[in-house]
Chain A
């Protein structure tokens, strides 16, 4: 891989041992990825704080970050925090639940302390998987970024037209560089497969299932999607998330909607290879796969993967207003939307019904839940990870309304509509 003189001197250790390790990581990773050189980022970075157990021997320890922050080192580009991991962190709403160690005040203080050096270096504590909806600072078309949240990658590439692989981390934020391969290069961003939806995508769940079905079918191809109507922001978030959970779609086009596809021809630019047609039956198959519970006695309902936006919180608050829930219900969101929901009185309505709104985390990240045996969720992504992480938990999947209904009744009555 070609390196500039400055990059070579970093690799030689002329800029200190930490920068040397970060550069060594970029070189080793770039070689494996088949990159010919590095790119200087001009967009932004998303990373999981407080960092650890991510890149093995290349990791920069918390103590080292403290040291860097103290001598005034800063991240090279605007850097935003995804959810805290290893351990997870409940930012708001934790006082209302009992879930050790996350609700232990001492443990929490330590977690807040861990964030400080990163913030001192410039990390903005959005603490969410959908930071791209609330950070108030997003990249523009063509800017090179290093993002890490899997559900956000297609959003960055397709919806915003920015350029990112999955490499948002301390190293890429600190050096402001990434290997130049895959999504950073024009030729890999063109559509190769046309995906036509033959029926009408109506509900949020339809978009969730459609994204999953496409993800399963196209592998690493870049699809151009037609027949997808005019998705709301919530629906688009769901579709992006499933595209990269059911499969590994990191880029797609919707002619007339996404910036690199003013037309179908522009999306393909001569790279058309094949066409796939999908209909409601294909969505049904995924729906059935998601529903692997046999017991209908729901005791835990989880909503908010990716983190609910304010419209989604409002929707649930209206559904539970004045009701009493039989099952435990969690809604997860980002700290920014939590505050808005609180100001609107939505948190109070949900809590009065017996539900909890938590910010900054999710069951998958926490790896721990209130005692429960049968869960209901409206997110294909969470459903998928739950099946691996909580093997004993049985999961129902359906619309938000079906899930809320099951929280009220304590019984699953959702069905394919």
Chain B
């Protein structure tokens, strides 16, 4: 199985690799995640109960309360932040969330990462160069 390479824009620099957790939905920070456990707590979300801690979180974007950045920052303080973030929509919530969560993050990719990448795939995120390298499981 060959690698798939996606090219996008740097949001936060740094280079990491790990297992992907993917959703085509947007994620709410406040009331949507548990920053103590690093899990999705929105019961009506397709990832309800899933742990994003230490995973490459691939998702559409942020929604809901402006408390988004605070929640993801708290997750970072509790060592349960995502390993990296790959998303489609840059909004204020994401921008603030990314600068305080401080994990490698890439957006504006040449293919929709939520469609190309599946949960469990091995993903390398090179934030500095805006490159996402996918190895299908």
Interface flag for A219 (CB, 8 Å): yes
Residues of A within 8 A of B63 (CB): 245, 247-248
Q: Give, as a whole number of angstroms, the nearest-CB distance from A56 to chain B.
A: 4
1/0 per residue A330-363: CB within 8 Å of B? Answer: 0000000000000000000000000000000000
> What is the bound-complex CA distance between A220 and B11, given in angstroms?
19
Q: Is there an interface contact between B90 and A34, defined as CB atoms closer than 8 Å? A: yes
Q: Is there an interface contact between B70 and A53, defined as CB atoms closer than 8 Å? A: yes
Interface flag for B135 (CB, 8 Å): no
User: Known contacts A53-B73, A167-B92, A248-B63: does B99 contact A385 (CB below 8 Å)?
Assistant: no
Q: Is there an interface contact between B89 and A219, defined as CB atoms closer than 8 Å? A: yes
1/0 per residue A13-57: CB within 8 Å of B? Answer: 000000000000100110011100000000000000000011111
B41's nearest neighbour on chain A, judged by CB, is A388
Q: Is there an interface contact between A387 and B76, defined as CB atoms closer than 8 Å? A: no
Q: Is there an interface contact between A58 and B31, defined as CB atoms closer than 8 Å? A: no
B34's nearest neighbour on chain A, judged by CB, is A388
Q: Give, as a whole number of angstroms, the nearest-CB distance from B34 to chain A.
A: 8
Q: Which residue of the partner chain, among A55, A149, A165, A388, contacts B43 with CB atoms under 8 Å?
A: A388
Q: Is there an interface contact between B31 and A384, defined as CB atoms closer than 8 Å? A: yes
A220's nearest neighbour on chain B, judged by CB, is B89
Interface flag for A166 (CB, 8 Å): yes
A364's nearest neighbour on chain B, judged by CB, is B31
User: Known contacts A28-B99, A57-B100, A247-B63: does B90 contact A391 (CB below 8 Å)?
Assistant: no
> What is the bound-complex CA distance between A148 and B62, given in angstroms?
15
Q: Is there an interface contact between A148 and B66, defined as CB atoms closer than 8 Å? A: yes
Q: Give, as a whole number of angstroms, the nearest-CB distance from A200 to chain B.
A: 28
Interface flag for A182 (CB, 8 Å): yes
Q: Is there an interface contact between A182 and B74, defined as CB atoms closer than 8 Å? A: no
Q: Is there an interface contact between A29 and B61, defined as CB atoms closer than 8 Å? A: no
Interface flag for A157 (CB, 8 Å): no
Interface residues on B, range: 35 or more
Interface flag for A97 (CB, 8 Å): no
> What is the bound-complex CA distance between A153 and B66, given in angstroms?
10
User: Known contacts A57-B100, A389-B31: does B64 contact A150 (CB below 8 Å)?
Assistant: yes
Residues of A within 8 A of B98 (CB): 32
Q: Is there an interface contact between B95 and A33, defined as CB atoms closer than 8 Å? A: yes
> What is the bound-complex CA distance between A388 and B35, given in angstroms?
12
Question: How many residues in A have their beta carbons less than 8 Å from beta carbons of B?
Answer: 39
User: Known contacts A165-B92, A289-B44: does B31 contact A385 (CB below 8 Å)?
Assistant: yes
Residues of B within 8 A of A54 (CB): 67, 69-70, 73
Residues of B within 8 A of A248 (CB): 26, 61-64, 89, 91, 93
Q: Is there an interface contact between A33 and B70, defined as CB atoms closer than 8 Å? A: no
Interface flag for B111 (CB, 8 Å): no
Q: Is there an interface contact between A388 and B28, defined as CB atoms closer than 8 Å? A: yes
Interface flag for A292 (CB, 8 Å): yes
A-B pairs under 8 A by CB, number: 107
Interface flag for B121 (CB, 8 Å): no
Q: Is there an interface contact between B99 and A32, defined as CB atoms closer than 8 Å? A: yes
Residues of A within 8 A of B95 (CB): 29, 32-33
- Which B19-44 residues have a C-beta within 8 angstroms of A? 26, 28, 30-33, 41-44
Residues of A within 8 A of B73 (CB): 53-56
Most buried by B among A32, A247, A248: A32
Interface flag for B47 (CB, 8 Å): no
Residues of B within 8 A of A386 (CB): 31
Q: Give, as a whole number of angstroms, the nearest-CB distance from B84 to chain A.
A: 15
- Which B73-95 residues have a C-beta within 8 angstroms of A? 73-74, 76-77, 89-93, 95
Most buried by A among B63, B92, B93, B102: B92
Q: Which residue of the partner chain, among A25, A33, A388, contacts B92 with CB atoms under 8 Å?
A: A33
A86's nearest neighbour on chain B, judged by CB, is B70
Residues of A within 8 A of B33 (CB): 388
> What is the bound-complex CA distance between A388 and B33, given in angstroms?
8
Q: Which residues of B are at the interface with A, using a C-beta cutoff of 8 A?
A: 11-12, 26, 28, 30-33, 41-44, 60-67, 69-70, 73-74, 76-77, 89-93, 95-96, 98-100, 102
Known pairs A32-B90, A56-B100; list 10 more (Cβ under 8 Å). Answer: A33-B92, A53-B74, A56-B69, A150-B64, A245-B64, A248-B62, A384-B28, A387-B42, A388-B28, A389-B41
A-B contact pairs, 26 of them (CB 8 A): A25-B99, A28-B99, A29-B95, A32-B11, A33-B92, A53-B74, A55-B96, A56-B77, A56-B100, A58-B100, A150-B64, A166-B96, A219-B26, A219-B61, A220-B61, A220-B89, A245-B64, A248-B26, A248-B61, A248-B62, A248-B93, A250-B91, A387-B31, A387-B44, A388-B41, A391-B41
Q: Which 8 A-B residue pairs are closest in the complex by CB-CB distance?
A: A385-B31, A56-B100, A166-B92, A56-B73, A388-B31, A33-B95, A165-B92, A388-B41
